[in-house]
Amino acid sequence: MGDSALRRLITVLMTGLMTGLMAGLISVLILLEVPAPAQALSLPWSRGTTDREPVTLPAAGPSGRLQEVAAPGAVQQLRRELASHQPRLSLEGPSNDSVLNGETWTLKLRVEDWPAASDPELGLGAHIALQIDGSPPQRFSQLSNGHLQAQLPALSPGSHRLSAYAAYPWGEAVKTPGASLNWRLHQAQALEGTQPEQNAPWLELVSPSELSAGEPLLLDWLIWNAPLQNLRAGDARWRLRLTLNGDSFLMDRQEALWIRGQGSGNQEVQMELLDSLGEPITPVFNNQLRVVTNSRGKRPVWMQSNLSGQQLARLLGQARPEQEPAPKPAAIAEPEADPIVAPSSEQTPNAPAVAPQAASPAKAATGNGPTENASTAEPPAQNAPAEDARAAQPDGTDPGEEQPSSPKASPQQPPGEQPSKEQPATRLIPRAEPPPLAPTTSLGGSARELLNADGTQR
């Protein structure tokens, strides 16, 4: 074969090779022009391809039956008092990804610049909250030299995600840098795929919680590993869909909300983490539901419109509860003094009775009541005059009745004159009736004038 034939053969081969290369290159270019798969748009924080701008889901606050309102006045007071603090939490044990064994484990945290406190009457002040997986918060208010140490029961076997954060008295999480942390623990052994990856987005539902009490209702949350957004227009990466008793709205910022208009009874709150197009982001961890029952007991003190200086100090751990003064004994009313009554035989039946003085003629005539019969009265002392009381009539006579006899008059005493009165001997009267009147008289005409000296009737 000559040189010319060899050259033609080489030319043909090169032409075919170039043709094949060009065809392959064209095929590759055609494949590159095919649009990316739609599922790529649902990846976390995805913004789509350069030739197709995704439609960002717009955020909108509460509307319709739900209304965002200002926090209660006492909440605003406490927030202003705590604004000067910059809490910072650090984990001392157990460390991240530790494997635990045993019936209990001890949580150790270092807490800086957060005045954790609790008052026996007013309730929780600033405190530290711990959440395990999606369970409600556990709250701690006792610190020792800036350290929190709490013994907790064993976790269920497998892997768990934990978060701790500084919390306000009403349960809201402090959002400043360093005020919260998260880590993973394993009981017995780790179970892969049961928890979010270290850098994956993760939603923590903070409130509503057991601290909720009627309207307005606090809604609060934490999103771990969520990129900052709204720094410039169109840079939204995530949305949070909140559903309260069937009414939904979208949020694109991590700020707690106070909502009014949720009605009475149980509060069903659902929170879902979405990407900017509205697609769920790992919903197995980021779709949470919590039901809170409205408490009909005493409303928390921070739900008031205003707090006194003493209440603020107590909730901040700066003052002790006021000591209530001991109740003074009730004044015992002294009984009124009984009126002084002259002693009488009616009041003191067993007291000695003294025969009364002779009655005046008028009293002897009229009298205030019937007197005892002389026959029932005890005989007077010896030598004392004995007269019938019934003989003391105005005319000195008692017709129709036999007049009792009287002792002889003394020779020295002329008839018709009153014999000398002698006091009868003192005696005890067993009954309360007044003693009988002594048979005395000063009338000129007496029944004695009808008798002879020997006692016979004239």
Mean pLDDT is lowest, of 30-39, 157-166, 191-200, 245-254, for 30-39
Higher pLDDT, 409 or 147: 147
Q: What is the mean pLDDT of residues 375-383?
A: 44
Per-residue model confidence (pLDDT) at position 57:
59
pLDDT-based confidence at 143, cuts 50/70/90? very high
**Taking 70 as the threshold, does the pLDDT of residue 388 lie above it?**
no
- Chain centroid to CA 302: 13
Check if the beta carbon of residue 137 is closer than 8 Å to that of residue 129: yes
Question: What does pTM read for this prediction?
Answer: 0.59
Higher pLDDT, 302 or 62: 302
pLDDT tens-digit readout, 267-276? 889 999 998 8
User: What's the rounded Cα separation, in Å, for the pair 348 and 363?
Assistant: 25
pLDDT tens-digit readout, 307-325? 999 999 999 988 665 554 5
The DSSP call for residue 77 is H
Best CA proximity match to 302, nearest among 223, 214, 389: 214
Per-residue model confidence (pLDDT) at position 270:
94
User: What's the rounded Cα separation, in Å, for the pair 208 and 137?
Assistant: 10
Per-residue model confidence (pLDDT) at position 299:
84
User: What's the rounded Cα separation, in Å, for the pair 443 and 423?
Assistant: 20
Best CA proximity match to 76, nearest among 169, 141, 211, 173: 169
Task: Tell me the range of 29-43, 222-236, 247-261, 326-340 where mean pLDDT is highest.
Answer: 247-261
Mean pLDDT is lowest, of 153-162, 172-181, 285-294, 444-453, for 444-453
Domain 67-315 has CATH 1.10.3720.10: no
**Taking 60 as the threshold, does the pLDDT of residue 40 lie above it?**
no
pLDDT-based confidence at 435, cuts 50/70/90? low
Residues whose CB falls within 8 Å of the CB of residue 250, separated by 6 or more in sequence, listed in order: 57, 58, 59, 60, 239, 240, 241, 242, 274
Classify 134 as helix, strand or coil.
Answer: coil
Mean pLDDT is lowest, of 124-138, 142-156, 248-262, 438-452, for 438-452
Check if the beta carbon of residue 168 is closer than 8 Å to that of residue 209: no
User: What's the rounded Cα separation, in Å, for the pair 392 and 362?
Assistant: 11
Task: Tell me the range of 185-199, 329-343, 368-382 where mean pLDDT is highest.
Answer: 185-199
Best CA proximity match to 106, nearest among 185, 190, 208, 192: 185
Q: What is the mean pLDDT of residues 198-202?
A: 87
Radius of gyration of the chain from Cα atoms?
57
User: What's the rounded Cα separation, in Å, for the pair 155 and 281?
Assistant: 27
Angle at the Cα of 332 from the Cα atoms of 329 and 334, rounded to 5 degrees: 160
Q: What is the mean pLDDT of residues 211-225?
A: 88
Q: What is the mean pLDDT of residues 118-136?
A: 93
Where exactly are the structural domains of the chain?
Answer: 67-315, 358-367+390-395+441-458
